[in-house]
Amino acid sequence: NRGFATILGSVLTLVGTFVVMWRMSPLLALLSLGVVPLLMMAILRYAGRIRRETAALQAQESDVLARASEGLSSIRVVHAFGRESHEVDLFRREARESLEANLRLSMTNVASTLVVGTLLALGTAALLWVGAGEVMAGRMTLGDLLVFLAYLGMLYSPLEQLSYTAWSMEGAAAAAQRVFEVLDTPDDVPDPQSPARLPAGPGAIEFQGVGFQYARGDEVLQGLTFRIQPGESVAVVGGTGAGKTTLLSLLPRFYDPSTGQISIHGIDLRNLAKQDLRSRQALVLQETILLSGTVQENIAYGRLGASFREIEIAAQEAQAHEFILALPNGYQTQVGERGVMLSGGQRQRIGIARAFLRDAPILLLDEPTSALDATTERELLDVLGKLMSRPTTLLVTHRLHAAHRADRILVLEKGRLVEEGKGEELLRRKGAYWRLWQATNG
Protein backbone atom coordinates (compact mmCIF):
# COMPACT_ATOMS: atom_id res chain seq x y z
CA ASN A 1 0.00 0.00 0.00
CA ARG A 2 2.71 2.44 1.06
CA GLY A 3 4.55 1.10 -1.98
CA PHE A 4 1.86 2.25 -4.40
CA ALA A 5 1.58 5.66 -2.72
CA THR A 6 5.33 6.13 -3.00
CA ILE A 7 5.26 5.15 -6.67
CA LEU A 8 2.44 7.58 -7.45
CA GLY A 9 4.14 10.42 -5.57
CA SER A 10 7.43 9.75 -7.29
CA VAL A 11 5.90 9.65 -10.75
CA LEU A 12 4.12 12.98 -10.22
CA THR A 13 7.30 14.66 -8.94
CA LEU A 14 9.20 13.21 -11.90
CA VAL A 15 6.84 14.54 -14.52
CA GLY A 16 6.56 17.99 -12.91
CA THR A 17 10.29 18.38 -12.50
CA PHE A 18 10.92 17.26 -16.05
CA VAL A 19 8.53 19.86 -17.48
CA VAL A 20 10.30 22.65 -15.58
CA MET A 21 13.71 21.38 -16.72
CA TRP A 22 12.54 21.11 -20.33
CA ARG A 23 11.56 24.76 -20.29
CA MET A 24 14.97 25.77 -18.95
CA SER A 25 17.02 23.73 -21.41
CA PRO A 26 15.65 20.95 -23.62
CA LEU A 27 19.15 19.63 -24.34
CA LEU A 28 20.13 19.22 -20.69
CA ALA A 29 16.67 17.89 -19.81
CA LEU A 30 16.99 15.13 -22.40
CA LEU A 31 20.53 14.42 -21.33
CA SER A 32 19.46 14.03 -17.72
CA LEU A 33 17.07 11.29 -18.82
CA GLY A 34 19.95 9.41 -20.45
CA VAL A 35 20.47 7.31 -17.31
CA VAL A 36 16.85 6.19 -17.21
CA PRO A 37 17.23 3.21 -19.62
CA LEU A 38 20.28 2.03 -17.67
CA LEU A 39 18.36 2.46 -14.43
CA MET A 40 15.47 0.40 -15.86
CA MET A 41 17.86 -2.38 -16.81
CA ALA A 42 19.32 -2.37 -13.31
CA ILE A 43 15.86 -2.44 -11.72
CA LEU A 44 14.74 -5.41 -13.81
CA ARG A 45 17.95 -7.31 -13.33
CA TYR A 46 17.97 -6.93 -9.56
CA ALA A 47 14.22 -7.39 -9.21
CA GLY A 48 14.56 -10.95 -10.54
CA ARG A 49 17.46 -11.67 -8.23
CA ILE A 50 15.76 -10.22 -5.18
CA ARG A 51 12.63 -12.24 -5.89
CA ARG A 52 14.56 -15.50 -6.29
CA GLU A 53 16.71 -14.89 -3.24
CA THR A 54 13.77 -13.89 -1.04
CA ALA A 55 11.91 -17.05 -2.07
CA ALA A 56 14.98 -19.15 -1.31
CA LEU A 57 15.34 -17.47 2.08
CA GLN A 58 11.69 -18.17 2.96
CA ALA A 59 12.04 -21.82 2.01
CA GLN A 60 15.26 -22.14 3.98
CA GLU A 61 13.71 -20.55 7.06
CA SER A 62 10.83 -23.01 7.04
CA ASP A 63 13.41 -25.82 6.82
CA VAL A 64 15.10 -24.48 9.94
CA LEU A 65 11.78 -24.42 11.80
CA ALA A 66 10.86 -27.90 10.60
CA ARG A 67 14.22 -29.26 11.78
CA ALA A 68 13.86 -27.63 15.19
CA SER A 69 10.31 -28.82 15.73
CA GLU A 70 11.14 -32.35 14.63
CA GLY A 71 14.18 -32.52 16.89
CA LEU A 72 12.23 -31.23 19.87
CA SER A 73 9.19 -33.42 19.38
CA SER A 74 11.34 -36.54 19.23
CA ILE A 75 13.64 -35.44 22.03
CA ARG A 76 13.20 -38.74 23.93
CA VAL A 77 14.42 -40.79 21.00
CA VAL A 78 17.29 -38.38 20.48
CA HIS A 79 18.39 -38.80 24.11
CA ALA A 80 17.79 -42.53 24.21
CA PHE A 81 19.98 -43.14 21.20
CA GLY A 82 22.57 -40.55 22.14
CA ARG A 83 22.08 -38.61 18.93
CA GLU A 84 22.18 -35.13 20.48
CA SER A 85 25.29 -33.94 18.64
CA HIS A 86 24.00 -35.42 15.39
CA GLU A 87 20.74 -33.48 15.73
CA VAL A 88 22.60 -30.31 16.69
CA ASP A 89 24.80 -30.73 13.60
CA LEU A 90 21.76 -31.10 11.37
CA PHE A 91 20.18 -28.02 12.90
CA ARG A 92 23.41 -26.06 12.62
CA ARG A 93 23.69 -26.94 8.93
CA GLU A 94 20.15 -25.73 8.22
CA ALA A 95 20.74 -22.58 10.27
CA ARG A 96 23.98 -21.87 8.41
CA GLU A 97 22.23 -22.22 5.07
CA SER A 98 19.57 -19.83 6.28
CA LEU A 99 22.29 -17.39 7.35
CA GLU A 100 23.92 -17.69 3.92
CA ALA A 101 20.61 -17.08 2.17
CA ASN A 102 20.17 -14.01 4.36
CA LEU A 103 23.65 -12.76 3.55
CA ARG A 104 23.13 -13.32 -0.17
CA LEU A 105 19.97 -11.24 -0.07
CA SER A 106 21.72 -8.50 1.94
CA MET A 107 24.62 -8.45 -0.52
CA THR A 108 22.21 -8.14 -3.41
CA ASN A 109 20.52 -5.25 -1.64
CA VAL A 110 23.85 -3.51 -1.08
CA ALA A 111 24.97 -4.14 -4.65
CA SER A 112 21.73 -2.85 -6.12
CA THR A 113 21.91 0.33 -4.03
CA LEU A 114 25.48 0.79 -5.17
CA VAL A 115 24.60 0.37 -8.84
CA VAL A 116 21.74 2.86 -8.65
CA GLY A 117 23.89 5.36 -6.76
CA THR A 118 26.70 5.03 -9.31
CA LEU A 119 24.37 5.43 -12.28
CA LEU A 120 22.86 8.58 -10.83
CA ALA A 121 26.29 9.99 -9.98
CA LEU A 122 27.41 9.31 -13.57
CA GLY A 123 24.30 11.06 -14.86
CA THR A 124 25.03 14.09 -12.68
CA ALA A 125 28.66 14.17 -13.79
CA ALA A 126 27.70 14.01 -17.48
CA LEU A 127 25.22 16.79 -17.03
CA LEU A 128 27.74 18.94 -15.21
CA TRP A 129 30.22 18.32 -18.04
CA VAL A 130 27.84 19.33 -20.80
CA GLY A 131 26.28 22.13 -18.71
CA ALA A 132 29.71 23.65 -18.01
CA GLY A 133 30.37 23.57 -21.78
CA GLU A 134 27.08 25.40 -22.36
CA VAL A 135 27.94 28.04 -19.77
CA MET A 136 31.41 28.57 -21.23
CA ALA A 137 29.93 28.84 -24.73
CA GLY A 138 27.63 31.50 -23.33
CA ARG A 139 24.40 29.66 -24.12
CA MET A 140 23.50 29.44 -20.46
CA THR A 141 24.26 31.46 -17.32
CA LEU A 142 26.02 29.91 -14.35
CA GLY A 143 22.98 30.70 -12.24
CA ASP A 144 20.76 28.73 -14.63
CA LEU A 145 23.11 25.78 -14.43
CA LEU A 146 23.03 25.81 -10.62
CA VAL A 147 19.24 25.99 -10.59
CA PHE A 148 19.15 23.20 -13.15
CA LEU A 149 21.38 21.05 -10.97
CA ALA A 150 19.01 21.58 -8.04
CA TYR A 151 16.17 20.36 -10.23
CA LEU A 152 18.26 17.41 -11.28
CA GLY A 153 18.35 16.35 -7.65
CA MET A 154 14.56 16.51 -7.61
CA LEU A 155 14.44 14.37 -10.74
CA TYR A 156 16.85 11.72 -9.51
CA SER A 157 15.64 11.25 -5.96
CA PRO A 158 12.19 9.95 -7.04
CA LEU A 159 13.95 7.68 -9.54
CA GLU A 160 16.04 6.31 -6.71
CA GLN A 161 12.91 5.93 -4.55
CA LEU A 162 11.19 4.11 -7.37
CA SER A 163 13.91 1.54 -7.77
CA TYR A 164 14.06 0.75 -4.05
CA THR A 165 10.30 0.51 -3.83
CA ALA A 166 10.18 -1.79 -6.84
CA TRP A 167 12.69 -4.09 -5.17
CA SER A 168 11.06 -4.17 -1.78
CA MET A 169 7.77 -4.97 -3.51
CA GLU A 170 9.49 -7.81 -5.35
CA GLY A 171 10.66 -9.16 -2.01
CA ALA A 172 7.21 -8.84 -0.49
CA ALA A 173 5.67 -10.49 -3.54
CA ALA A 174 8.03 -13.45 -3.21
CA ALA A 175 7.12 -13.84 0.45
CA ALA A 176 3.42 -13.55 -0.33
CA GLN A 177 3.76 -16.11 -3.08
CA ARG A 178 4.96 -18.66 -0.58
CA VAL A 179 1.98 -17.97 1.66
CA PHE A 180 -0.36 -18.47 -1.28
CA GLU A 181 1.42 -21.67 -2.29
CA VAL A 182 0.55 -23.10 1.09
CA LEU A 183 -3.00 -21.73 1.04
CA ASP A 184 -3.59 -22.99 -2.49
CA THR A 185 -2.54 -26.57 -1.79
CA PRO A 186 -5.43 -28.41 -3.42
CA ASP A 187 -7.80 -30.35 -1.20
CA ASP A 188 -7.43 -34.05 -1.98
CA VAL A 189 -11.02 -34.76 -1.08
CA PRO A 190 -13.04 -31.79 -2.29
CA ASP A 191 -16.60 -31.20 -1.14
CA PRO A 192 -19.19 -31.52 -3.91
CA GLN A 193 -20.71 -28.37 -5.43
CA SER A 194 -24.19 -29.16 -4.18
CA PRO A 195 -23.87 -31.84 -1.52
CA ALA A 196 -26.65 -34.30 -0.77
CA ARG A 197 -28.02 -34.31 2.79
CA LEU A 198 -27.61 -37.42 4.90
CA PRO A 199 -30.97 -38.62 6.22
CA ALA A 200 -31.19 -38.94 10.01
CA GLY A 201 -30.68 -42.26 11.71
CA PRO A 202 -28.26 -45.08 11.00
CA GLY A 203 -27.96 -46.14 7.39
CA ALA A 204 -26.34 -49.14 5.77
CA ILE A 205 -22.72 -48.73 4.72
CA GLU A 206 -21.87 -50.28 1.41
CA PHE A 207 -18.49 -50.92 -0.21
CA GLN A 208 -18.64 -51.72 -3.91
CA GLY A 209 -15.43 -52.89 -5.53
CA VAL A 210 -13.39 -50.46 -3.45
CA GLY A 211 -9.71 -50.21 -4.30
CA PHE A 212 -7.25 -47.73 -2.87
CA GLN A 213 -3.67 -46.67 -3.27
CA TYR A 214 -1.79 -43.87 -1.54
CA ALA A 215 -0.36 -41.07 -3.70
CA ARG A 216 2.55 -43.23 -4.77
CA GLY A 217 2.60 -46.90 -4.11
CA ASP A 218 0.89 -50.19 -4.67
CA GLU A 219 -2.75 -50.98 -4.20
CA VAL A 220 -3.34 -51.08 -0.45
CA LEU A 221 -6.98 -52.16 -0.80
CA GLN A 222 -8.40 -54.16 -3.68
CA GLY A 223 -11.89 -55.06 -4.80
CA LEU A 224 -13.59 -54.73 -1.39
CA THR A 225 -17.29 -55.43 -1.60
CA PHE A 226 -19.40 -55.80 1.51
CA ARG A 227 -22.39 -54.30 3.24
CA ILE A 228 -22.85 -53.31 6.86
CA GLN A 229 -26.44 -53.16 8.08
CA PRO A 230 -27.61 -50.27 10.26
CA GLY A 231 -26.77 -51.04 13.88
CA GLU A 232 -24.57 -53.99 12.96
CA SER A 233 -21.17 -54.40 14.60
CA VAL A 234 -18.40 -55.55 12.32
CA ALA A 235 -14.83 -56.38 13.28
CA VAL A 236 -11.99 -56.05 10.81
CA VAL A 237 -9.02 -58.30 11.49
CA GLY A 238 -5.85 -59.13 9.61
CA GLY A 239 -2.09 -58.97 9.87
CA THR A 240 -0.16 -55.79 10.30
CA GLY A 241 -0.11 -53.71 7.12
CA ALA A 242 -3.17 -55.53 5.76
CA GLY A 243 -4.93 -52.19 5.20
CA LYS A 244 -7.28 -52.04 8.20
CA THR A 245 -6.52 -48.45 9.21
CA THR A 246 -6.67 -47.44 5.57
CA LEU A 247 -10.12 -49.00 5.20
CA LEU A 248 -11.36 -47.16 8.28
CA SER A 249 -10.01 -43.82 7.09
CA LEU A 250 -12.04 -44.02 3.89
CA LEU A 251 -15.28 -43.67 5.87
CA PRO A 252 -14.74 -40.11 7.17
CA ARG A 253 -13.31 -39.34 3.71
CA PHE A 254 -9.77 -38.70 4.83
CA TYR A 255 -9.18 -40.24 1.41
CA ASP A 256 -11.43 -41.20 -1.46
CA PRO A 257 -11.25 -44.68 -2.98
CA SER A 258 -9.16 -44.94 -6.15
CA THR A 259 -11.69 -47.32 -7.65
CA GLY A 260 -15.22 -48.37 -6.75
CA GLN A 261 -17.45 -46.50 -4.35
CA ILE A 262 -18.57 -46.34 -0.75
CA SER A 263 -22.09 -45.30 0.14
CA ILE A 264 -24.10 -44.58 3.27
CA HIS A 265 -27.89 -44.54 3.07
CA GLY A 266 -27.30 -45.35 -0.61
CA ILE A 267 -25.52 -42.01 -1.16
CA ASP A 268 -21.99 -42.04 -2.57
CA LEU A 269 -19.71 -40.47 0.04
CA ARG A 270 -18.31 -38.20 -2.67
CA ASN A 271 -21.71 -36.54 -2.91
CA LEU A 272 -21.71 -35.60 0.77
CA ALA A 273 -20.19 -32.62 2.53
CA LYS A 274 -17.34 -33.85 4.74
CA GLN A 275 -18.69 -31.88 7.68
CA ASP A 276 -22.10 -33.55 7.41
CA LEU A 277 -20.59 -37.00 6.95
CA ARG A 278 -18.17 -36.66 9.86
CA SER A 279 -20.81 -35.31 12.20
CA ARG A 280 -22.43 -38.77 12.00
CA GLN A 281 -19.25 -40.59 12.94
CA ALA A 282 -17.20 -41.03 16.08
CA LEU A 283 -13.65 -42.12 15.52
CA VAL A 284 -11.09 -43.62 17.87
CA LEU A 285 -7.66 -43.44 16.29
CA GLN A 286 -4.96 -46.04 16.68
CA GLU A 287 -2.92 -43.34 18.46
CA THR A 288 -5.00 -41.05 20.66
CA ILE A 289 -3.98 -37.42 20.33
CA LEU A 290 -4.54 -35.26 23.38
CA LEU A 291 -4.78 -31.50 23.10
CA SER A 292 -3.35 -29.34 25.82
CA GLY A 293 -6.12 -28.51 28.23
CA THR A 294 -7.94 -30.37 30.98
CA VAL A 295 -9.10 -33.97 30.88
CA GLN A 296 -12.66 -32.69 30.79
CA GLU A 297 -11.95 -30.48 27.78
CA ASN A 298 -10.27 -33.36 26.01
CA ILE A 299 -13.30 -35.60 26.40
CA ALA A 300 -15.72 -32.77 25.58
CA TYR A 301 -13.89 -32.38 22.30
CA GLY A 302 -16.13 -35.19 21.08
CA ARG A 303 -19.20 -33.03 21.55
CA LEU A 304 -18.73 -29.40 22.56
CA GLY A 305 -21.47 -28.35 24.89
CA ALA A 306 -21.89 -31.72 26.60
CA SER A 307 -22.78 -31.44 30.28
CA PHE A 308 -20.34 -32.53 32.96
CA ARG A 309 -22.63 -35.42 33.85
CA GLU A 310 -22.55 -36.69 30.26
CA ILE A 311 -18.77 -36.40 30.20
CA GLU A 312 -18.58 -38.43 33.40
CA ILE A 313 -20.84 -41.15 32.00
CA ALA A 314 -18.75 -41.40 28.84
CA ALA A 315 -15.61 -41.66 30.96
CA GLN A 316 -17.20 -44.37 33.08
CA GLU A 317 -18.15 -46.37 30.01
CA ALA A 318 -14.62 -46.00 28.68
CA GLN A 319 -13.23 -47.32 32.00
CA ALA A 320 -11.50 -43.98 32.46
CA HIS A 321 -13.47 -42.49 35.37
CA GLU A 322 -11.43 -44.06 38.15
CA PHE A 323 -7.98 -43.14 36.95
CA ILE A 324 -9.18 -39.64 36.16
CA LEU A 325 -10.39 -39.17 39.76
CA ALA A 326 -6.97 -40.31 40.94
CA LEU A 327 -5.24 -37.54 38.97
CA PRO A 328 -4.12 -34.46 41.01
CA ASN A 329 -7.10 -32.32 39.96
CA GLY A 330 -9.47 -34.99 38.71
CA TYR A 331 -11.30 -33.91 35.58
CA GLN A 332 -9.66 -30.49 35.79
CA THR A 333 -6.13 -31.89 35.51
CA GLN A 334 -4.10 -30.35 32.72
CA VAL A 335 -2.78 -32.92 30.25
CA GLY A 336 -0.58 -32.86 27.18
CA GLU A 337 2.63 -30.94 26.56
CA ARG A 338 2.21 -28.59 29.50
CA GLY A 339 0.46 -30.89 31.95
CA VAL A 340 0.43 -34.42 33.30
CA MET A 341 1.78 -37.01 30.90
CA LEU A 342 -0.69 -39.85 30.63
CA SER A 343 0.20 -43.45 29.88
CA GLY A 344 -0.67 -44.98 26.53
CA GLY A 345 -3.61 -46.89 28.02
CA GLN A 346 -4.93 -43.81 29.81
CA ARG A 347 -4.74 -41.77 26.65
CA GLN A 348 -6.52 -44.50 24.76
CA ARG A 349 -9.41 -44.53 27.23
CA ILE A 350 -9.78 -40.75 27.00
CA GLY A 351 -9.95 -41.19 23.24
CA ILE A 352 -12.70 -43.78 23.67
CA ALA A 353 -14.62 -41.59 26.13
CA ARG A 354 -14.42 -38.80 23.58
CA ALA A 355 -15.96 -41.05 20.93
CA PHE A 356 -18.66 -42.39 23.29
CA LEU A 357 -19.63 -38.86 24.25
CA ARG A 358 -20.09 -37.99 20.60
CA ASP A 359 -22.94 -40.48 20.50
CA ALA A 360 -22.90 -40.72 16.70
CA PRO A 361 -24.76 -43.34 14.64
CA ILE A 362 -21.49 -44.71 13.27
CA LEU A 363 -18.64 -45.69 15.58
CA LEU A 364 -15.21 -46.33 14.08
CA LEU A 365 -12.60 -47.87 16.37
CA ASP A 366 -9.00 -48.54 15.40
CA GLU A 367 -7.33 -50.89 17.89
CA PRO A 368 -9.11 -49.30 20.86
CA THR A 369 -7.74 -51.78 23.38
CA SER A 370 -4.17 -52.32 22.15
CA ALA A 371 -2.63 -50.49 25.12
CA LEU A 372 -4.88 -51.89 27.85
CA ASP A 373 -4.22 -54.72 30.31
CA ALA A 374 -6.40 -57.82 30.06
CA THR A 375 -8.78 -56.84 32.88
CA THR A 376 -9.38 -53.29 31.72
CA GLU A 377 -9.78 -54.55 28.19
CA ARG A 378 -12.43 -57.09 29.20
CA GLU A 379 -14.37 -54.43 31.12
CA LEU A 380 -14.18 -52.08 28.20
CA LEU A 381 -15.26 -54.76 25.76
CA ASP A 382 -18.29 -55.51 27.92
CA VAL A 383 -19.34 -51.87 27.64
CA LEU A 384 -18.53 -51.88 23.96
CA GLY A 385 -20.59 -55.03 23.53
CA LYS A 386 -23.60 -53.24 24.98
CA LEU A 387 -22.87 -50.15 22.99
CA MET A 388 -22.22 -52.03 19.78
CA SER A 389 -25.83 -53.05 19.64
CA ARG A 390 -26.79 -49.39 19.10
CA PRO A 391 -24.60 -47.54 16.62
CA THR A 392 -23.20 -49.15 13.52
CA THR A 393 -19.74 -50.14 14.66
CA LEU A 394 -16.59 -50.89 12.74
CA LEU A 395 -13.92 -52.24 15.04
CA VAL A 396 -10.39 -52.82 13.81
CA THR A 397 -8.49 -55.09 16.14
CA HIS A 398 -5.67 -57.57 16.54
CA ARG A 399 -7.38 -59.00 19.62
CA LEU A 400 -9.42 -61.86 18.26
CA HIS A 401 -11.53 -62.36 21.38
CA ALA A 402 -12.65 -58.74 20.91
CA ALA A 403 -13.45 -59.39 17.27
CA HIS A 404 -15.26 -62.58 18.23
CA ARG A 405 -18.02 -60.64 19.95
CA ALA A 406 -18.92 -58.69 16.83
CA ASP A 407 -21.93 -59.61 14.69
CA ARG A 408 -19.63 -60.27 11.80
CA ILE A 409 -15.93 -60.44 11.09
CA LEU A 410 -14.12 -59.33 7.95
CA VAL A 411 -10.69 -60.84 7.43
CA LEU A 412 -8.28 -58.73 5.38
CA GLU A 413 -5.14 -60.09 3.82
CA LYS A 414 -2.93 -57.73 1.82
CA GLY A 415 -5.86 -55.43 1.17
CA ARG A 416 -8.23 -58.14 -0.01
CA LEU A 417 -11.28 -59.47 1.78
CA VAL A 418 -10.49 -63.16 2.18
CA GLU A 419 -13.18 -64.25 4.64
CA GLU A 420 -16.28 -62.94 6.27
CA GLY A 421 -18.79 -64.34 8.72
CA LYS A 422 -19.50 -64.95 12.40
CA GLY A 423 -16.59 -65.88 14.65
CA GLU A 424 -17.69 -69.43 15.39
CA GLU A 425 -18.51 -70.08 11.78
CA LEU A 426 -15.12 -68.85 10.61
CA LEU A 427 -13.36 -71.04 13.16
CA ARG A 428 -15.17 -74.11 11.85
CA ARG A 429 -14.16 -73.19 8.31
CA LYS A 430 -10.48 -73.47 9.27
CA GLY A 431 -9.41 -70.71 6.89
CA ALA A 432 -7.60 -67.44 7.33
CA TYR A 433 -9.41 -66.50 10.56
CA TRP A 434 -8.71 -69.88 12.08
CA ARG A 435 -5.03 -69.52 11.23
CA LEU A 436 -4.93 -66.10 12.94
CA TRP A 437 -6.72 -67.65 15.93
CA GLN A 438 -4.22 -70.46 16.10
CA ALA A 439 -1.31 -68.02 15.93
CA THR A 440 -2.60 -65.93 18.85
CA ASN A 441 -4.18 -68.59 21.05
CA GLY A 442 -2.17 -71.65 20.18
Ligand X SMILES: Nc1ncnc2c1ncn2[C@@H]1O[C@H](COP(=O)(O)OP(=O)(O)OP(=O)(O)O)[C@@H](O)[C@H]1O
Binding site for Mg ion (CB under 5 A): 245
Cβ-based nearer residue to ligand X, 82 or 217: 217
**Which of 228, 242, 290, 353 forms a contact with ligand X (CB under 6 A)?**
242
Q: How deeply is 421 buried, as exposed, middle or buried, from its count of CB atoms within 10 A (0-12, 13-18, 19+)? A: middle
**CB nearer to ligand X: pick between 98 and 281:** 281
Specify the residue, 314 or 409, whose C-beta has the smaller distance to ligand X.
409
Least Å distance between CB 242 and ligand X? Answer: 4
Cα–Cα distance list, 168 to 50, 100, 296, 382, 442 (Å) = 8, 20, 49, 66, 72
240 binds, among Mg ion, ligand X, none (CB under 5 to 8 A by kind): ligand X
Q: Which is nearer to ligand X, 81 or 214 (CB)?
A: 214
Cβ of residue 416: shortest distance to ligand X, in angstroms? 12
**Closest CB to Mg ion among residues 74, 245:** 245
Q: How far is the CB of 174 from ligand X (least distance, A)?
A: 32
Q: Least distance to Mg ion from the beta carbon of 246, Å?
A: 8
- Residue numbers 251-290 binding ligand X by CB under 6 A: 286
Does 220 sit near ligand X (CB under 6 A)?
yes
Q: Which of 217, 305, 328, 442 binds ligand X (CB under 6 A)?
A: 217
- Binding to ligand X by CB under 6 A, coded x per residue (else -) over 221-240, reads -----------------x-x
Residue (47 or 411) nearer to Mg ion, CB: 411
Contact 221, 243 (CB under 8 A): yes
Residues of this chain that bind ligand X (CB under 6 A): 214, 217, 220, 238, 240-246, 286
